[in-house]
Structure 1
Amino acid sequence: MFPRPPSPAKLYAQLPRVLAKPLTHVPFMAQRFGMTKVLQQVFKESLESGECEFLRNRWLLVKINDLDLSWYFSLGPNDSILLQPSGRHDVSISGNLNEFILLAARKEDPDTLFFQRRLLIEGDTELGLEVKNLIDALDTNELSNELRFLLSSAGEYVSIFAS
């Protein structure tokens, strides 16, 4: 006898992870190029106003646990975002993809995600809180229409099917 296939609801909940899984096979140089472009746009105002200065000579590790992906971020010369595949870090923020989607799309309050331990800050928690506050203060209206649409759609999907 064959095992029963998973329910549609279970499949729907896993769809963002399944769609993002190919990213784990993209060479880091291509990941760096794409992510740096997007992050420079997302944090444009914060970079220009000096709000990201706290990351200079400090490293943030972001880990997406269910994809086994991680990136190391810092603030470099000329207020550019530095991105590395490995190294030392001062603080890490980790969680599953759906939690990061909810955070980016503003479908879930960052404090809720951290207090419920769906996203974890480890290491220099003061630095981690500065990162959280920076993310929390972002104005999504400053993003391109395409990026706003992508975040909004992904956030809506996750909040409906994966919660």
Structure 2
Amino acid sequence: MTSNFTIPKFRLPGFVAALGQKLPQWPHAVTLTLGLNAALKMGLLPEGDLAALDDKLFRVRVHDTGGEASFTYRGGLFRPVFRPQREPDLAFAANLSAYLQLLARQEDPDTLFFSRELEITGDTELGLIVKNMLDAVEWPQLRLPLRGH
């Protein structure tokens, strides 16, 4: 049985972002880098392009949650950056629904960018490298056990 579930375009209420901006942001960076390092260990990220990420500063901002995560890639690992001392080399900003659609491969970054749902700023060449890396990821198929069989 396959699911035809699609993630709708949505925007969380404004008070969520207002509250989220007042909360500590470090858990976002830690969680994101743990996920990226897990994907790295599982061999999901194309290793050939990782050298281009070395010592670059990245920022991911989620407009409607008020969340933000900064991180870098150094010494073969993604590492959180809690107090960036400079502007990021590459920054992404979108609402939560756009990120979920990207992860589910329901939408591609180009479509979201040109429809102004995903903002990408910084080094254009680095942005293309990251986009191509994400496009090359082969997400494992998760199978849920069927009950009663």
Q: CA RMSD in A?
A: 3.3
- Whichever residue aligns with residue 37 of structure 1, its letter is L
Change (3 A) 1:141 1:117: same
After TM superposition, give the deviation of residue 107 of structure 1 in Å: 0.7
Question: In proportion to residue count, which structure has more helix?
Answer: 1
Whether the 8 Å CA contact 1:17–1:97 is kept in 2: the answer is no
70, 73, 76: which one aligns with 2:74 = 76
Identity within the alignment, % = 33
Q: For 1:137 and 1:19, how far apart are their aligned partners in 2?
A: 33
> Which segments of 5 or more consecutive residues in structure 2 lack a partner in the other structure?
1-8, 145-149
Match of 1:35 among 32, 43, 46: 32
Q: Which residue of 1 aligns with 2:60?
A: 62
Asked whether the 8 Å contact 1:110–1:136 carries over to 2, the reply is no
TM-score (norm 1): 0.65
Secondary structure, counterpart of 1:52 in structure 2: helix
Instruction: Output the CA distance in 1 between the equivalents of 2:137 and 2:18.
Output: 27
- State the alpha-carbon separation in 1 of the partners of residues 49 and 106 from structure 2: 24
Label 1:33 to 1:92 Cα distance change in 2 as closer, same or farther (>3 A): closer
| TM-score, with length taken from structure 2 | 0.70
Q: CA deviation at 1:30?
A: 3.9
How many aligned residue pairs are there? 133
**Aligned-partner Cα distance in 2 for 1:16–1:54:** 37
CA distance in structure 2 between the aligned counterparts of 1:141 and 1:18, rounded to whole angstroms: 36
The aligned residue for residue 157 of structure 1 is none
Which secondary structure state, in structure 2, belongs to the residue aligned with residue 117 of structure 1?
coil
* 1:107–1:47 CA distance, 2 compared to 1 (3 A): closer
The structural deviation recorded for 1:91 is: 1.6
Aligned CA distance change for structure 1 residues 35 and 122 (closer, same or farther; 3 Å): closer
Aligned-partner SS, 2:34: helix
**Residues 127 and 98 (structure 1 numbering): CA distance in 2 closer, same or farther, change over 3 Å?**
same
The answer (yes or no) to whether the contact 2:17–2:64 under 8 Å persists in 1 is: no
Instruction: State the match for 1:92 in structure 2.
Output: 91
Residue 73 (structure 1) shift: 2.1
CA distance change for structure 1 residues 21 and 51 in 2, over 3 Å: closer, same or farther?
farther
Deviations 1:93-144 (A, max 9, x none): 11111101101110112211112121111121111121111111111117xx
Q: Give, in whole Å, the separation in 2 of the partners of 1:138 and 1:38.
A: 14
Are the structure 2 counterparts of residues 108 and 139 from structure 1 closer, same or farther at C-alpha, using a change threshold of 3 Å?
Answer: same
Identify which range, 120-129 or 47-56, moves more after superposition.
47-56
Residue 48 of structure 1, CA deviation? 7.2
